[in-house]
Amino acid sequence: MRKFRILTRSQLIQRHAQLLQNLNLVRTNSLILTNKKKKKKKKLKPSEGTTRTPRKMHLRLAT
């Protein structure tokens, strides 16, 4: 079992707010990055399209 520090309610709320803020920053940053560069899609050979794993797809969706 891991030991957790006991947080007061206000600390917990504060930390949660911080996390949310970070998440929003990451979101906006990634949006800014994606808007700046729009790559032209390369035409894939039929074999290449099937190599991408579902996990990579999830990672791309998450950002």
Residue 57 has pLDDT above 60, yes or no: no
Residue 13 corresponds to which tokens in the numbers above? 């709320």
Which pLDDT does position 11 carry in this prediction? 86
Which pLDDT does position 26 carry in this prediction? 79
Which pLDDT does position 31 carry in this prediction? 74
Which pLDDT does position 51 carry in this prediction? 54
Per-residue pLDDT reduced to its tens digit, 14-55: 888 988 888 888 777 777 777 666 666 666 655 555 555 555
> Which of the four pLDDT bands, split at 50, 70 and 90, describes residue 58?
low
Q: What is the DSSP string of the chain?
A: --------HHHHHHHHHHHHHHHHHHHHHHHHHHHH--PPPPPPPTTGGGG--HHHHHHHHH-
Provide the residue ranges of all domains of the chain, joining segments of one domain with +: 8-35
